[in-house]
Chain A
């Protein structure tokens, strides 16, 4: 909770026995757009990694480079010390699930799942049993003779998952597999993906722009912005020790303030809305911030206030529904010293 130390992301070096998949200096350009800018990353065996970031930051491109569907302009990829760069996508044995519409429309559910097995020469009862087992794993054993268009969106993504997992892939790659589904199904499937991954211990990389999804599923989150990695770490690390202003503002909410004594080298400090403490206006000390409430939103367990103090704006989250938290009222808050984040590398 100190935020004074540099973020301690476990970054195993080359030759580390835990490193399963390793990317070095991966660069990919599309014309004038640099989608990936010298990305380096190590993934441990059995790990669940999430690529998180705003739309267009290069998540999908990075996933596709790992899959072999894009050829990087620079850099190298290794899988357990073997170079992967020259291995075509179809020989990597990585499973992929796309956002939607990736099932073969002319094949039944069972034939979809069997497809990868057939490509690898599985035959007869061995194949059928594997298909059956995979469909049971995703609770669709009774749908095996249906065609994709007869299934709901959630069921289609389950089939896609079963199809990707059937040939026992070394890595599972998921590109926003839940974003086309409605909220309830998404929640449900999110849980299933996590359980499956834990049960199979399969190394998994998932792309998402949904922070909650990443925080719930990932062992480590790779937070990306404009083709570079801003920070890698567990959800708590990103939340509690954001490496810079981008991370601080992307993960949860963060008030970024200037002109405080304990400011970092950029002259900025950050504080989470829920860490601000309400104090008695009359007893306000030197560290108090007094402002006028501009907006008050009641969210159930908390009330979110927008506070205007001088030329700065502050978001404050208070438990419950404080009586005087109405627009126009004056409020005093304090920043507890242990909650101050020093903000580095303010983006332009």
Chain B
């Protein structure tokens, strides 16, 4: 009589405890997202709409009417549109060469194209100045009087900076194709140009749209390059910094922040629509396109890729070079004097950066993997809400998030005010700045676990632990590792969010580069950039070989 009812209550209790764990985990994921993403955003929105006579559009009307502000907006739009068109066209050509021709050196080109991802954004501008600036190599050697400061400087620097992002998106779009459609066009009499116009371009339309929005957002929210090379060509991202850091004008900062939210949010929406639309294109019965050698096309593609990669390499290379000579470009004797870092905090910020990046990597991995895990156990509504919260940061530019953090945590009344000015808040800011991308990678990995888990436990029954050790771990490690690497690398090179949150004691490496450049120590800025890139490179190599050793195969760390 007792046994059945006891059994029933035991299972009911276990059910409850399961739900409790899920609930606790969901709360552990959702509460920080709420605190570190939603609240700062809400603070910005509130401030931008707050006027002496209640909430309204007063601030917007006021700022939009000042000629200076409208010029900054126009500047931003023009420079971003221009850089977007150039970047997307260049990246399309490069991705086309990589996927649709049989040119040589594809592996090398593919790696070089990703290099700008591993350097702070202002390195491009720094390199361009070493080459084309007032005291750059070209002007010194040929006395051409080239003036690269301002509009064109920003455009060139941001094209180089955003190139790998566009390339990755377009690469995905051009990598898959159905051979039969191309062969049909050919048999019907279409020449190469017509095939491109009527088949290739429509098939990659969504990828192109997505690349345009993403690049536009990257450029309009980029802060490092315009700071270094923009001179008096003011854009929104530098203006928000000047208003907040220079003049403590938080209201105007908030208004600009909301304006910057618009393209970023649009980019996320388009990206979502695009990934939904592009699934149907390739069916399981389609014939993958195989590239065939073509003497002329392959050579043109090779030459083109050589130029593109040459540009990327030469800008980064010249920064390397400049850091190792006595005084660029006047005295080209090799010297290590710029690596002594005698000004400011010396090399200290690099260690701070590594410290913060390690924290961000750990926290980022934990919260994104937890979010991905708990998402699978929630009901549809809760899952939708958590998913939205998790990818919302993709729509928030770094400058905006950083400003939001000041507004939220600099307020002594805020319960987490004690975080302000610590290294921890820098790490947290980086985690939530890049939460969306890390979360998406983690989701892929967790979905893999569950599938393998289900299959294996169904097939093997008892041998679950063995399965875990032999099958599951090798499968999830690499993806989890790539989440770790992602957060580490981003934290090492990012500038835009943390620029608002550093104190003299918590200065970061990327910020040092900016400050060194600002104070006229370009060669030391270069040396500091080289240190950052060296740390990032070393971390990537270490992870690559550690994973190869542990997992026994190569793992893609960049995606």
Contacts and interface: CB of A to CB of B under 8 A. Distances in A.
8 contacts: A67-B187, A69-B186, A91-B189, A99-B285, A104-B181, A105-B203, A163-B184, A164-B187
A69 B185 CA distance: 12
B249 to A, nearest CB: 49
A115 B285 contact: no
Given A101-B285, A105-B281, A94 B199 contact: no
Interface of B: 178, 180-181, 183-191, 194, 198-199, 202-203, 205, 280-281, 283, 285-287
B198 A115 contact: yes
Contacts of A164: 187-188
Contact of A96 (B178, B183, B199, B286): B183
Q: Report, nearest first, the 6 A-B pairs whose CB atoms are least far apart.
A: A116-B188, A119-B189, A102-B180, A106-B202, A96-B187, A102-B184
A83 interface: no
A120 B189 contact: yes
Nearest to A93: B189
A306 B520 CA distance: 96
A98 interface: yes
B187 A89 contact: yes
Given A104-B198, A104-B199, A115 B188 contact: yes
A149 interface: yes
A185 interface: no
Contact of A119 (B183, B190, B205): B190
A180 interface: yes
A227 interface: no
A69 B205 CA distance: 27
Contacts of B190: 90, 115, 119
A69 B188 CA distance: 12
A77 B287 CA distance: 26
Interface of A: 67, 69, 89-96, 98-107, 115-116, 119-120, 149, 160, 163-164, 167, 180
Contacts of A91: 189
B280 A149 contact: yes
A251 B180 CA distance: 31
B189 to A, nearest CB: 4
Given A90-B188, A164-B187, 6 more contacts: A67-B187, A90-B187, A98-B180, A99-B180, A99-B285, A120-B189
B188 A163 contact: yes
Contacts of B280: 149
A37 to B, nearest CB: 22
Contact of B283 (A94, A101, A167): A101
Q: Of A91, A93, A98, A107, which is in contact with the most chain B CB atoms at under 10 Å from its CB?
A: A98
Contacts of B202: 104, 106
B179 to A, nearest CB: 9
A59 to B, nearest CB: 15
A289 to B, nearest CB: 47
Contacts of A99: 180, 285
Contact of B188 (A98, A167, A180): A167
Contacts of A149: 280
A92 B186 CA distance: 10
Contacts of A167: 188-189
B185 A104 contact: yes
Contacts of B194: 119
Contact of B181 (A92, A101, A119, A180): A101
Contacts of B287: 101
A157 to B, nearest CB: 12
A93 B187 CA distance: 7
B512 to A, nearest CB: 51
B180 to A, nearest CB: 4
Contacts of B191: 90, 119
